[in-house]
Structure 1
Amino acid sequence: MIEVLNHLKSFFQNNFWEDLCRYCPTNLRIGLVCGVCIGIWWLMRKPHGIPPGPRFTLPIVGDLLFLEKESQPVMLRNMRDKYGDIFSIYMGSSLFIVLNGYDVIKEALVKYGHIFSDKPHMFMYDLISDKKGIVFTSGQLWKEQRKFALETLREFGFGKTILEDKVHEEIGYYIEVVDTHNGRPFDMCRLTQAAASNIISSLVYGNRFDYDNLVFKEYLNGVDEMFEDLGSTAVLNFLPVLRFMPGDLFKYKRTLKNLWGVENTIIKPSIQEHLENYDENNTNDYISSYIKEMKRVQKEGQTSYINEDNLVKSIGDLFVAGTETTSTAILWTILYLLHHPNIQDRCYKEIQDVVGSGRLPSMKDKTSMPYNEAVLLEVLRKANVVTIGTPHSLNQDTVFRGYNIPKHAIILPNLDSVLADNKIWGDADVFRPERFLDNDGKVTKPDEFIPFSLGRRICLGESLAKMELFLFMTTMIQRFEFKPVDPDNLPKLEGVIGITNSPCKYEVRAVPR
């Protein structure tokens, strides 16, 4: 590229324009100028009738050079103020349509969900998913995988109190590790991720892993690095040619390495083990149930996407849906308790009044502990773990609220525009759990409370995440008092945007009560 620029510089410095004017007829010069202008217009033109957005869209890079150097939520809030509830952005050659506000998002994802529920083709997403599994697929393939996942997990107690045994078992191991620190400062991040991951493991594989298991630790490290690299690899969705640059600036090679490691460390060996020891009368985990369905459709000669390749990718999707949001929400909750010790004290008092110290809190206690539930709801709102819902696409060109939305456009439902909207919450920037309590002290949730998004693509792990968050936090508050390492220097309430909006790394003291 530098060599090309040097040639151009030399070309123009050698009296190019002087020679052009001397030897080129006027009409030809005018034609060349018009041709260049038309070429630039052709490359920068936008489809007719799309939502407003930045005026000057450049070839190749799109609007990237004109976007504000702010955090993602702040940038999108400013753009909403400028362009309205529906606006467009070009990332490279990809057209993104950002939906803002509860009414707009609900209309698109619920009322017109039959149009807005496909998944877009983006380079890194297609690479990671291989266009298989649950999260990044569309059409009949997606319907089959999601339907099987929901029915199977529901059968195992997904969203029901029968699942409590698995959650309580994991909480027991989790508390043991926290207790060993005896009130000394430590980082709970990896431990919390491991605990949440183990609950999914028990559902998918039929067993949990010791926290010190080297294979499990390698697996978690690979997943963690893939999450961390999402910000860098996202650029390749718009400019995939950059993956050929020397080195690994955009983490492409590391992502491929970790993807291979994640699938080959635990997922594929576990599937192989289940195949070798398959017993159709003993299908008590997700993999064995999937194998049973595979054998059924093969025996009946049905055309189906229930196959081993989709099983591999579906397992990865389940771990993302059931691990990252839950562990991140737990870490945000503890962080907010450090900033609001009075709220922590009130949670503890309610737990003592309802449960005491002799047994673990259970889901049947939830209705009797409205303040604890309100705190968790406020964490999900204020921390906004998923600031933007997963990308959607359309299955046809459509007109939505007066705008032409082409089929190839990528739809981004901006959940932050709802959860942080002062018009809805009044004081959205304030952490105030009481907003979820009515005059009688009972929990109330406005329709605008959508931390898990809306429509057909609503988070697959929502019910499990809510159960885990309630059981983990009420048990932890029952057993420990969370204190800052330095009361005069509290960890910042700032997020790091990756696959989720995660709190910055921090240490905490969990003092046994």
Structure 2
Amino acid sequence: MAGISTMLLDIFQYFNIKYMTGLFKDNVGVTTGLVFVTCLGIWWLMRKPRGIPPGPRFTLPILGDMLYFRGEENLRVVARQLRKEHGDICSAYFGSKLFIFLNSYDLIKEAFVKNGDVFSNRPSLFLTNLLTKRKGIGSSQGQPWKEQRKFAVETLREFRLGRPILEDKIHEEIEYFVDVIRQENGSNFDMCRLSQKGVCNIISSMVYGKRFEYDDPVFNVFLGELESLLQHIGIATVLNVFPFLRFLPGDMFNYQSLLNNLDYINNKIILPSINEHMKNFDENHVDDYISSYIREMKKVSKTGQRSYLNEDQLAASIFDLFIAGTVTTSTTFLWTILYFLHHPNIQAKCYKEIQDVVGSGRLPSIKDKPSLPYVEAVMLEVLRKANILMTGPPRAVSEDTRFHGYHFPKDAIIIPNVDALFTDDMIWGDADVFRPERFIDSNGQVMKRDELIPFSIGRRVCLGESLAKMELFLFVTTLVQRFEFKPVDADNLPTLQGIAGITHAPAKYQVRAVPR
């Protein structure tokens, strides 16, 4: 006790706190002194590093800048507020985590493309570590990430080289999809789960080498667990900032629920499929992602070289492919149908263009895309206006870095705030309006805009971008060709207010699909 007392007195005298020095000499002041020193220590630990981008002036111990945002839970809203007050490079603390926001296209491009060797890491976040264990395509880094991504890019490119085969797989799935909708006979139905089934089956065909019937009980339970996991993540994001909250009774932040979801997906779906492929592997019949990965593992093993291609990484990569390939694409598709309900004139214009180019006798093909500029413009406008990833996947720098005169600590979480790009009237003129014509030039052709980066840019760009665009184009054109989508109640349209979770998704809604 004497040693602690001496230390406290030294601290008080160092900061020239004469009152506290005297107070502590009195036994009555012991508790007060301990509290003061504890708070001082926390402040010392939570003080802002010098030179970081501007942000809220006063950062609280433990809470960081969270009180500054008046209880806002939506990171997109917080980012807008920060940009308005502090500019295109700004920062804030959420708990002990430093978030740095890049709010312009030029800054994001400079960081992720020109300085991609530094800005290509993923930050260490509690939920990310829980879900992926820092393995797979999306969350690993360094040499493990390079090997996983290289293999994934080459394998998916190999699939795409046989584009007619891939397009045939998508067309096959669309036919099942159309048949299910036709059976509704124009009555109300929930588009959400159906869209998940259609898109997930395409990923399943590529990963597992097979599709599932829409009424398959295992398939439906898997989709239910996947949907439940995404819903649980929405509330559980607070654990990224305060991971100790998972120990509170009652599973208030869905920690145990997430573990249960992960356990089912991994142990009932992913691992059994890997084991089946391993058991029945035939190097002369390699026609899906898992078989290709096993072949590469065996090939590397024979050379004796060190490799990060292993079953754990494969399982994590499969999880990544299903999350990225199913959730994002199906969510974008749901937004497209929802915007059609709100803008029937746009749906009608798409239908006319499809009829003029394709007609009704055959399925639309990816070869028709250059001749359907308005349909493509609608897809681009949906990607902009819906902005399903809200602020963009976070990055981290591989080392302490100077960027535009600011200090970026190695453990900082870098947010490419694409919302700032997609909602800026200086770029779009009327960013709040859903207007596909903004992507059509004076010659009637599609006009690409650099600022529209829904799939990110740089070394971590979404490797499934071309597949997602192909799926969206073929699904939307075929469905508009076959059906007119109408609201259940024309006087009470489904809301355009999205739900913030792992993606920015529309609230569940029902729709009528009237055969043409």
**1:145 has 2:148 as partner:** yes
Separation of aligned partners in 1, 2:314 and 2:369: 35
Separation of aligned partners in 2, 1:98 and 1:129: 24
Question: Structure 1, residues 445-473: CA drift from partner, whole Å, max 9, x if none?
Answer: 01111111111111122111100000000
2:192 is aligned, of 149, 170, 189, to: 189
Cα contact 2:75–2:391 (8 A) shared by 1:
no
Partner of 1:372: 375
Instruction: Report the AA paired with residue 107 of structure 1.
Output: E
Sort the Cα spacing of 1:159 and 1:35 in 2 relative to 1 into closer, same or farther, 3 A.
Answer: farther
The offset of 1:43, in angstroms, is 3.9
Instruction: Report the AA paired with residue 391 of structure 2.
Output: I
Separation of aligned partners in 1, 2:464 and 2:273: 22
Cα contact 1:294–1:306 (8 A) shared by 2:
yes
1:266 is aligned, of 246, 261, 269, to: 269
The offset of 1:384, in angstroms, is 0.7
Separation of aligned partners in 2, 1:262 and 1:29: 51
Cα contact 2:24–2:33 (8 A) shared by 1:
no
Question: Where in structure 2 are the equivalents of 1:5-404 lying within 5 Å?
Answer: 24=26, 38-39=40-41, 41-70=43-72, 71-157=74-160, 160-404=163-407
TM-score (norm 1): 0.93
Instruction: Report the AA paired with residue 194 of structure 2.
Output: L
Instruction: Report the AA paired with residue 63 of structure 2.
Output: V
Partner of 1:435: 438
**1:484 has 2:487 as partner:** yes
Separation of aligned partners in 1, 2:75 and 2:221: 31
Question: Structure 1, residues 374-395: CA drift from partner, whole Å, max 9, x if none?
Answer: 1111111111111121111111
Partner of 1:502: 505
Q: CA RMSD in A?
A: 2.2
Separation of aligned partners in 2, 1:433 and 1:133: 36
Separation of aligned partners in 1, 2:125 and 2:449: 34
Instruction: Report the AA paired with residue 431 of structure 1.
Output: F
Separation of aligned partners in 2, 1:27 and 1:172: 78
Question: Structure 1, residues 84-124: CA drift from partner, whole Å, max 9, x if none?
Answer: 11111111111111111111111111111110101111112
The offset of 1:302, in angstroms, is 1.0
Partner of 2:410: 407
Separation of aligned partners in 1, 2:58 and 2:237: 22
State the SS of the aligned residue for 2:76.
helix
Sort the Cα spacing of 1:239 and 1:169 in 2 relative to 1 into closer, same or farther, 3 A.
Answer: same
Separation of aligned partners in 2, 1:325 and 1:376: 14
Cα contact 1:64–1:91 (8 A) shared by 2:
yes
The offset of 1:321, in angstroms, is 1.5
Separation of aligned partners in 1, 2:443 and 2:219: 47
Sort the Cα spacing of 1:282 and 1:69 in 2 relative to 1 into closer, same or farther, 3 A.
Answer: same
Separation of aligned partners in 2, 1:22 and 1:276: 72
Partner of 2:9: none
The offset of 1:168, in angstroms, is 0.4
Question: Structure 1, residues 303-352: CA drift from partner, whole Å, max 9, x if none?
Answer: 00001110000001011121111101110000001111111111000111
Sort the Cα spacing of 1:298 and 1:512 in 2 relative to 1 into closer, same or farther, 3 A.
Answer: same
Segments of structure 2 that go 5 or more residues without pairing to the other structure are: 1-18
Sort the Cα spacing of 1:428 and 1:21 in 2 relative to 1 into closer, same or farther, 3 A.
Answer: same
TM-score (norm 2): 0.92
Instruction: Report the AA paired with residue 240 of structure 1.
Output: P
State the SS of the aligned residue for 2:286.
coil
Separation of aligned partners in 1, 2:508 and 2:254: 21
Separation of aligned partners in 2, 1:27 and 1:180: 78
Sort the Cα spacing of 1:287 and 1:40 in 2 relative to 1 into closer, same or farther, 3 A.
Answer: closer
Segments of structure 1 that go 5 or more residues without pairing to the other structure are: 1-16
Sort the Cα spacing of 1:284 and 1:26 in 2 relative to 1 into closer, same or farther, 3 A.
Answer: closer
The offset of 1:74, in angstroms, is 2.8
Sort the Cα spacing of 1:350 and 1:33 in 2 relative to 1 into closer, same or farther, 3 A.
Answer: closer
Instruction: Report the AA paired with residue 52 of structure 2.
Output: I
Cα contact 1:69–1:75 (8 A) shared by 2:
no
The offset of 1:75, in angstroms, is 2.6
Cα contact 1:159–1:467 (8 A) shared by 2:
no
Cα contact 1:419–1:451 (8 A) shared by 2:
no
Sort the Cα spacing of 1:35 and 1:192 in 2 relative to 1 into closer, same or farther, 3 A.
Answer: closer
Separation of aligned partners in 2, 1:472 and 1:363: 11
Separation of aligned partners in 2, 1:153 and 1:29: 64
Sort the Cα spacing of 1:190 and 1:158 in 2 relative to 1 into closer, same or farther, 3 A.
Answer: farther
Separation of aligned partners in 1, 2:161 and 2:469: 11
2:459 is aligned, of 449, 452, 456, to: 456
Cα contact 1:44–1:56 (8 A) shared by 2:
no
Separation of aligned partners in 2, 1:472 and 1:200: 14
State the SS of the aligned residue for 1:459.
coil
Instruction: Report the AA paired with residue 212 of structure 1.
Output: D
State the SS of the aligned residue for 2:306.
coil
The offset of 1:22, in angstroms, is 12
Question: Where in structure 2 are the equivalents of 1:410-425 lying within 5 Å?
Answer: 410-425=413-428
Cα contact 1:321–1:460 (8 A) shared by 2:
no
Question: Structure 1, residues 153-179: CA drift from partner, whole Å, max 9, x if none?
Answer: 111127944410110011011111111
1:444 is aligned, of 443, 447, 472, to: 447
The offset of 1:430, in angstroms, is 0.6
State the SS of the aligned residue for 2:350.
helix
Partner of 1:4: none
Of residues 25-34 and 440-449 in structure 1, the stretch that sits farther from structure 2 once superposed is 25-34
Cα contact 1:80–1:87 (8 A) shared by 2:
yes
Separation of aligned partners in 1, 2:27 and 2:304: 73
Instruction: Report the AA paired with residue 236 of structure 2.
Output: T
Sort the Cα spacing of 1:24 and 1:192 in 2 relative to 1 into closer, same or farther, 3 A.
Answer: same
Separation of aligned partners in 2, 1:199 and 1:22: 70
Cα contact 2:46–2:96 (8 A) shared by 1:
no
